[in-house]
Amino acid sequence: MSRQAWTVAPTDRRVLPGIVVVMERIVVGVDESPSALTAIRWAVRECRHRGGRLSAVMAWTYLGQHHGTGDDVFRPEYGERDAAAALDEILAQVDLDGVEVERQVVCGLPVPTLLEASADADLLVVGARGMGGFRGLLLGSVSQQCAHHTTVPLAIVRHDSWVAQAGDDGEIVVGVDGSKPSQLALEWALAEAAARGTRLVAVHAHRPVLLPEAAAFGPHGDVLDLAAEGEAMVRGALTDAGADELGVAIDVRVVSGSAAAALLDAAADTASMVVVGSRGRGGFRGVLLGSVSQQVVHHAPCVAIVVPGPR
């Protein structure tokens, strides 16, 4: 594994071309689940780091009622006022001091409601699992579908794992593979590291390709070439992303093996979040979420961020 770390000089973080450091609006999905409550608290802190207002959005239907922290008895007369009261009750559990919060209850299904509400937002935040589904699942249907269809960066917050990590002060891990979604993910991660004043870990993984006739002799010199090329590519991506203008400590890690495993390993101990592009260089055209990003959002031990590619 090859590593290099350096720190670049700070600058005015609000006027960096191509990098959005200050956000205007963050949308968070709300229900009574522990993951949603943790997601709300994380989104509030993100507003404090990045600025902007928070939109708390709760979708409800006649059969999908929300009752806040009270009973969950079905009520035939349930309506918008009941949903609004439930939203207020849930938000009352969170310290909202200093953050502008707008509240929105929508009669509709969660995924289309959240996607529509976040279409012009800077970030969509959801809990990893909501109230429905099977116990033991790492990712619920709402967070999975949002990851596949979001047009803005998505944060998936798992209540039972990220708290055990380094919190807001942990490193930010990002995957870099030279693709456009990867570059957008790198730009997002750089802005986040600048806003939080924390270290960025840029990870690139390569897989040596052996010709059949060379297999008997094991890996050859091309492995070293791949590592050097990977490091040069990451450096170039950082330069293109404007890293030279940010006061961010950067650790470059180039490893041989699976990209998903490399990212999860890097995020295992001290990371507060891991950032991936929606699709990398591999896979099939038209697939909304690549295999690496799918594995990361399913198994990340901290907050997972999916940055979609160009529309």
Assigned domain for 79 exists: yes
Same domain, 190 and 143: no
- Domain of residue 33, residue span: 25-163
Hey, which residues does 201 pair with through a beta bridge?
173, 251
Task: Give tens-digit pLDDT for 249-277.
Answer: 999 999 998 999 999 999 997 899 999 99
Same domain, 100 and 115: yes
Same domain, 140 and 176: no
pLDDT-based confidence at 17, cuts 50/70/90? very low
Task: Give tens-digit pLDDT for 198-215.
Answer: 999 999 998 765 555 545
Structure-model confidence comparison of residues 62 and 138, the more confident one: 62
- Which of 102, 131, 163 is the last residue in one of the domains? 163
Is the distance from CB of 123 to CB of 55 less than 8 angstroms? no
Distances (CA, A) of 153 to 25, 190, 229, 231, 275: 12, 14, 29, 26, 10
Assigned domain for 311 exists: no
Same domain, 86 and 72: yes
Same domain, 200 and 117: no
Contacts of 36 (CB under 8 A, 6+ apart): 29, 30, 90, 126, 127, 130
Same domain, 172 and 201: yes
Same domain, 284 and 199: yes
Task: Give tens-digit pLDDT for 44-77.
Answer: 999 999 988 999 999 999 999 999 987 788 999 9
Which residue in 113, 26, 112, 105 sits closest to 66, CA to CA? 105
Same domain, 156 and 29: yes
Round to whole Å and give the CA distance between 56 and 37.
Answer: 11
pLDDT-based confidence at 303, cuts 50/70/90? very high
Round to whole Å and give the CA distance between 165 and 272.
Answer: 6
Same domain, 103 and 197: no
Residue 140 has pLDDT above 90, yes or no: no
Residue type, 253: R
Round to whole Å and give the CA distance between 69 and 122.
Answer: 29
Residue 120 has pLDDT above 50, yes or no: yes
Assigned domain for 251 exists: yes
> What is the structure's pLDDT at 246?
85
Is the distance from CB of 252 to CB of 239 less than 8 angstroms? no
Residue 129 has pLDDT above 70, yes or no: no
Residues 236-248 have a mean pLDDT of 89
- Mean pLDDT (the chain) is 83
Q: Residue 40: which CATH number?
A: 3.40.50.620
Same domain, 272 and 143: no
Token match 């840029």: residue?
Answer: 202
- Which of 163, 184, 219 is the last residue in one of the domains? 163
- Which of 108, 135, 163 is the last residue in one of the domains? 163
Residue 151 has pLDDT above 50, yes or no: yes
Assigned domain for 178 exists: yes
Residues 135-159 have a mean pLDDT of 81
> What is the structure's pLDDT at 72?
80
Is the distance from CB of 41 to CB of 93 less than 8 angstroms? no
Contacts of 204 (CB under 8 A, 6+ apart): 175, 176, 177, 230, 231, 233, 234, 252, 253, 254, 255
Round to whole Å and give the CA distance between 151 and 134.
Answer: 27
Assigned domain for 49 exists: yes
Round to whole Å and give the CA distance between 229 and 79.
Answer: 59
> What is the structure's pLDDT at 286?
40
Same domain, 184 and 255: yes
Assigned domain for 116 exists: yes
pLDDT-based confidence at 285, cuts 50/70/90? very low
pTM: 0.85
Domain count for the chain:
2
Same domain, 302 and 224: yes
